[in-house]
Structure 1
Amino acid sequence: MDSPVLAIDQGTSGTKALVVCPERGVIGSGAAEVRPHYLPGGLVEVDPAALLSSVLDAGRQALAEAGEAVAGVGLANQGETVLAWDPATGRPLTDAIVWQDRRAAPLCAEMAAYGDELRRLTGLPLDPYFAAPKMAWIRRFLTREGVVTTSDVWLIHQLTGAFATDASTAGRTQLLDLDKAAWSPRALDLFGLGTERLPRVVDAAGPVGTTTAFGAEIPLTGLLVDQQAALLAQRVTAPSTAKCTYGTGAFLLAQTGTEPRRSANGLVSCVAWRLAGETSYCLDGQVYTVASAVRWLADLGVISGARDIDPVGSAVPDSEGVTFVPALAGLAAPWWRGDLRGSVTGLGLDTTPGHLVRALCEGIAAQVAEVAAAAAADLGTPLSVLRVDGGLTRSSLLMQTQADLLQLPVEVSELPDATALGVSAVTRLGLNPSLSLGEAVVRGKPSTVYEPAIGPDQAAERLGAFRAEVAALLDRTPAPS
């Protein structure tokens, strides 16, 4: 019988850890909250020490609940969050700048002439969402000392002393040559980072180092960026299938195989994973504010939290003409207008919290539907199903709304922690390379399947209202020159 592994998902608002046994499934779990600081002007920061302590706390909780030793540990990370740190001591030199942060927008505007070249080279549009603009901003305005990397590199160094990142995370920087899955000297030079010391780019599965942070010495054998880990856990290998994770944001990915496919419809082309030296690729579309938009409603006192979505939203039959474009941190794919602000229209004296909640669900689902349509256009084939995971999949109202607007079945993962399950698979592969990818992934069935409850005409009408509001936002806010 294979030994269990410890899989850690270090996310934006917290860290989840699972002890996963291939025969018995999840035998231990732990969680620790992380609270980013949302500052004026679109700034989002987090204390690096909070990231590390959340990893240690969640991992130790999961091991204590499992009550048995693990053969290896794997780490998933939030991707585009960056910081500067001293490689000699491991001491952070800056706070971590979170992926949602927009402070590098002026730097991107300066580099606009290189946007097409960077997209061809790296698969990514020039946008402060990605790591390289934030890294360049840190070098220009905060410090020239130490190294500047994505947060996973610092965490790996804290745990093992290694200086490494995996290919999927490196692909989120805008510094990786997409075709070669290696650092691009040209991209580094364009961002003024040509002299930087960079981590080695490793496969998702394989020995990286060992850690004693959780007690006995354990090898670190699995690394993946969060959304690609969820893609793997959801077994998305066919072009007609996609997955979407509903967390702080929503992230829809579709597998494209061993050849990168540049999007013609506003999506990101990126590395899914690299295993045994072979790179797999995917298309990726992002919605910046999902759970963070729910938290915003809660902070305003409209609801008390995500658990209120269904009871409050179900108190009314529809949104009564209220349309919510939840671009609270800008619009990502396929528009790439991070400068836009959200809007709520159609309000009246009879508007209730239920109408606002329903409008938010429709706004989230409509953005995901737009990303799904772009993915289908790039793939040249319609999607047949959307597999979903993440905390907000517990909302039947949101998931039913998603099925309605997509006009597709929506399959909810049995466990919401797909990211941790995905990284557990590559951790097992790192321990036992003779396993196939299919053998390494813990099998599960959907907990629920939502079928469309409205017809295509009504779905088109609702999507049309959302698109009209987005068009109005775009008209009111000219693109930065």
Structure 2
Amino acid sequence: MSEKKYVVAIDQGTTSSRAIVFDLEGTPKNSHQMEHEQIYPKPGWVEHNPMEIWSRVQDVIREVLDTNGVKADEIGAIGITNQRETTVVWEKATGKPVYNAIVWQCMRTQDFCAEWQKKEGWDKKVNDLTGLVISPYFSGTKIKWILDNVPGVRAKAEKGEVLFGNIDTWVTWNLTGGPNGGVHVTDVTNASRTLLMNIETLKWDKEMMDFLGVPEAMLPEIKPSSYVYGYTPESGPFGTKIPVAGILGDQQAALFGQTCYSPGEAKNTYGTGCFMLLNIGDKPVRSKNGLLTTVAYGLEEGKAVYALEGSIAITGAAVQWLRDNLRLFDDAPDSEYFAAKVKDSGGIYFVPAFSGLYAPYWDMSARGAILGLTRYITKEHIIRATLESICYQTRDVQAAMDADSGVPLKALKVDGGAVKNNLLMQMQADILGVPVVRPVVNETTALGAAYAAGLATGLWKSTEELRKHWKVDKQFDAAMPADKREEMYKGWKKAIEKSKGWL
């Protein structure tokens, strides 16, 4: 028996799959990433090929083995983190998907959701039972679409001959043997994004299953986020038996990797959009301010720690729009250089509501706007206003979290691609009025999955031990006077009102 020195995290995201090897200090040793195809069959529809995803996952695993001296028999556990809500239905006997994966961004069930919202009492009932809102975003209506539109699948689902899973379940099933004894499981965080799990009992909810017409026979077993689900076979990509022992949806994994284990601790992930999660402890408080109640993680059967989640659709994507559509600069990091050339945004506000406004407004008829333009405004002002819009939208979510939880934010831990932008991080601290803290290891999503797997297998003993690994790269303290901050934020709220109800 070799000594166990490493944990591997598989991070299956919206555009790519990665494998990252961490040592027992939580330091990344090596990683490999591969993209997969985005399929757009109709406007507003988004799909992935599940077989391509599984193929990419196997490829990235093989690439990280035997690199930098990492050997398969030194890996103590495997953790999985994934793009949430994306829906796969496949044949149990063959492992063949009955349809492409329907991606979280896909809007094909929008009309069904609009009709559902008209049914009296259902908005409140869905929120009470699941912590979520009626939306095409979540898995439940996507499963219904496959059962209603792919011939013969419903009959097979009722007999348990076809299986449903989000990407975590699909990868775990294949990784533990697929048609030859693959384990059909999900964890509480992913199950909490389906519209089918009861947020209180952490079990599949009969009323939601009946309404959406989803047979329980096709659903995976719900387990904690840190648990030995099964083992890789010797015939698999690892070539040896290793426990698969951690599963967390990507945003929850980032919260876990940022060691936000106490109520009142929050993280914000800056990517294409932003996702802010606040640990609210062991009671699933429902939001009155447009946030989702979700499971943050579960470390033992039947128990969970909950979070409030605010999702913002367009943040980093607005910077990409300046680069690709307006051609204001060549590379996204250049936005920091240009924005720093002016001392403020010259009185303009940019509301990047390209696909409506998400949390806390939920106005899908809003559209993007730049307000307050005069001839004084230059390209640099527009770029700076775009960075400010990321910070204002985060403040909108933070204000909603404060109101819902009664726990004022003390500091914000940050991760994701855009946190390398020091100017953006300083602006964020100024607009929130609390410190913004950037960690040394920015791969917090993968790290969270690795931590969950290492805890389940005894490689780490406690969450307290994990906290000790978390190290600050830089803390940005608010330097703006409070009256200036409030005056600027008042202008933002005015701009938001102008962008609403455009369609």
Task: Report the CA distance between 1:24 and its aligned residue.
Answer: 6.8
Residue 168 of structure 1: aligned partner: 189
Segments of structure 1 that go 5 or more residues without pairing to the other structure are none
Contact 2:27 2:441 in 1 (8 A): no
Segments of structure 2 that go 5 or more residues without pairing to the other structure are 154-161, 177-181
Partners of 1:335 and 1:214 in 2: CA distance: 46
1:83 aligns with 2:88: yes
Contact 1:22 1:442 in 2 (8 A): no
Given the superposition, is the C-alpha separation of residues 42 and 398 from structure 1 closer, same or farther in structure 2, using an over 3 Å criterion?
Answer: farther
Task: Report the CA distance between 1:37 and its aligned residue.
Answer: 4.5
Specify the code of the residue in structure 1 equivalent to 2:440: E
Partners of 2:59 and 2:216 in 1: CA distance: 36
Task: Report the CA distance between 1:13 and its aligned residue.
Answer: 2.7
Task: Report the CA distance between 1:309 and its aligned residue.
Answer: 2.1
Partners of 1:296 and 1:45 in 2: CA distance: 23
Q: Percent identity?
A: 36
Contact 1:425 1:442 in 2 (8 A): no
Q: Deviation digits for residues 85-125 of structure 1, max 9, x if unmatched?
A: 22322222322222222222211111113111010000111
Residue 56 of structure 1: aligned partner: 58
Given the superposition, is the C-alpha separation of residues 174 and 400 from structure 1 closer, same or farther in structure 2, using an over 3 Å criterion?
Answer: same
Residue 157 of structure 2: aligned partner: none
Task: Report the CA distance between 1:379 and its aligned residue.
Answer: 1.6
Residue 159 of structure 1: aligned partner: 175
Given the superposition, is the C-alpha separation of residues 62 and 104 from structure 1 closer, same or farther in structure 2, using an over 3 Å criterion?
Answer: same
Q: What secondary structure sits across from 1:182 in the alignment?
A: coil
Q: Which has the greater radius of gyration? A: 2
Query: Normalising by structure 1, what TM-score?
Result: 0.92
Query: Normalising by structure 2, what TM-score?
Result: 0.88
Task: Report the CA distance between 1:244 and its aligned residue.
Answer: 0.8
Specify the code of the residue in structure 1 equivalent to 2:30: G
Task: Report the CA distance between 1:401 and its aligned residue.
Answer: 1.8
Range moving further from structure 2, 45-54 or 284-293: 45-54
Match among 400, 421, 445 for residue 419 of structure 1: 445
Task: Report the CA distance between 1:196 and its aligned residue.
Answer: 5.5
Match among 205, 221, 225 for residue 200 of structure 1: 221
Between the two proteins, the alignment pairs up a number of residues equal to 477
Match among 461, 465, 470 for residue 444 of structure 1: 470
Task: Report the CA distance between 1:2 and its aligned residue.
Answer: 5.2
Residue 49 of structure 2: aligned partner: 47
Partners of 1:323 and 1:200 in 2: CA distance: 47
Task: Report the CA distance between 1:369 and its aligned residue.
Answer: 0.8
Partners of 1:58 and 1:48 in 2: CA distance: 15
Specify the code of the residue in structure 2 equivalent to 1:304: D
Given the superposition, is the C-alpha separation of residues 138 and 363 from structure 1 closer, same or farther in structure 2, using an over 3 Å criterion?
Answer: farther
Contact 2:349 2:385 in 1 (8 A): yes
Contact 2:26 2:469 in 1 (8 A): no
**CA RMSD across the alignment:** 2.3
Match among 12, 18, 21 for residue 19 of structure 1: 21
Task: Report the CA distance between 1:237 and its aligned residue.
Answer: 2.8
Contact 2:130 2:199 in 1 (8 A): yes
Range moving further from structure 2, 116-125 or 370-379: 370-379
Contact 2:260 2:266 in 1 (8 A): yes
Residue 404 of structure 1: aligned partner: 430
Q: Deviation digits for residues 381-432 of structure 1, max 9, x if unmatched?
A: 3111001111111111221221111111100121111011111111112212
The 5 A counterparts of 1:88-103 are: 88-103=93-108
Specify the code of the residue in structure 2 equivalent to 1:225: G
Match among 283, 291, 306 for residue 308 of structure 2: 283
Range moving further from structure 2, 440-449 or 155-164: 440-449
Q: What secondary structure sits across from 1:176 in the alignment?
A: coil
Q: Deviation digits for residues 33-62 of structure 1, max 9, x if unmatched?
A: 345346764333333244334423333333
